[in-house]
Structure 1
Amino acid sequence: MYGGAFAVPPLNIFSNQQYLMFNFSFNLLPVKRWAVGAAVLAVACSLTACSRYFSDGEAQNANKVVVLTPFPNATAEELATAFTAETGIQVEQVLDSTTKILARLRIEKRNPRGDVWYSGGGCIPFMTAVKEDLLAPYIPKEHSQIPEKRGNLTMRDKSWRWLPLAIVSQGYCYNPQVMPYEKIPKTWDELALPKWKGQIEMWDPADSGTSMLFLAAAIQRYKKPNGDESAG
């Protein structure tokens, strides 16, 4: 289950700043992490309406890169600071949810306004973006050995329009000050019991790609052999 993403808009050709961002981001993870898994890298043909738009001159500014990301500010700033220290290129962060970033990509498909999309929400948003022709292919030479599949797991887009950084598993956490371990639900079915109504919090799947991924996985459980569509 993928947990993040990275993307670049279509400025006809990849600028130096885009290549450096990709190069640096891949180098953040040791090669052996590919065997363990964790996030998603995407190359976006178009980034979307940001809190600040480029002028024509700014769009070609090789000394700044605009990054769209749903990551917490502390995480985004840590990555930006490290990237600037490595390359000398300044980073402007635009924080938004994965779902809203995808919507921005659609809005500005013909008029890209940013440089990089580094995001969460699993690979589903990026597969959707590929179908809608929102992503551009990019093969990082340092990691061109990434396979398209590993077992039944899709590791990257077949046309290199998105690439994985890592694989993560999803679960839930509980407050031990409110409930002891012995009483918490031990299965997803137990978590859905009426007694837990009003006691569970999660991001709105309409805004959060991660929550949507969790919801989709939960629904998939009720396919054969656990149920069918007629069961609701």
Structure 2
Amino acid sequence: MVGWGRGSNPYGPSPPTMVSTGTTMDVTVRFFAAYREITGLRETVVDLPNGATLAALLTRVFEAYPNLAAERGTMLFAVNQEFVGADAPLRPTDEVALLPPISGGGNPLIRLQVAAIDPDEVLELVHDPAAGAVVLFLGTVRADPGVEALDYEAYEGMAVKKMEALRSAAKQRFGISELAVVHRTGRLAIGETSVAVACSAPHRQEAFRACEWAMEELKKIVPIWKTVRGDAH
């Protein structure tokens, strides 16, 4: 069985503590976005036998939360902020993240922030006198019917790591001068900017291509989610 005694539950009383089977390692499990709403937990600690795989952990979690098991087909898994498969072995003190499909740090070019995005500041991040072109993309909250706001949530450490990898890949792939990605978290109203991608390059073609590619990759590999608030939800 699973030990849930140290789970963090901001939504109400913690689930009842289950009987431990005398297992020998603790693995932290974090739930994000819709999965947090299903379980009512931000994180919990699961007792597992030494050498257990992620698949064994998932079996325990799904037994405790059958509604979460229904999401298995599209669920992504990360161990210590790296994507893995269900056969990945686990070690004591590992942190496992269960992530819905994916629709900053010390590097100023890569940032997650609650504050509003300043386009001029983002452009300054990629300024290069040798660049003949600068492209800036701004993603904004669209006024769809029934939408009052969007809540953005990120698995911050992993998101920054993936954004930094994206930047490095874009520079190598397109031969650009620089790339910056800034994404907001928290609640955003209609019309607010949620993400900015800026790119400088010797020529405009590379700048446009790199900026578009970076935005598409951001939606695929960076663990940031949005939740609709309003009548549409």
Normalised by the length of structure 2, the TM-score is: 0.27
Higher strand share: 2
The structure that has the greater radius of gyration is 2
Normalised by the length of structure 1, the TM-score is: 0.27
Higher helix share: 1
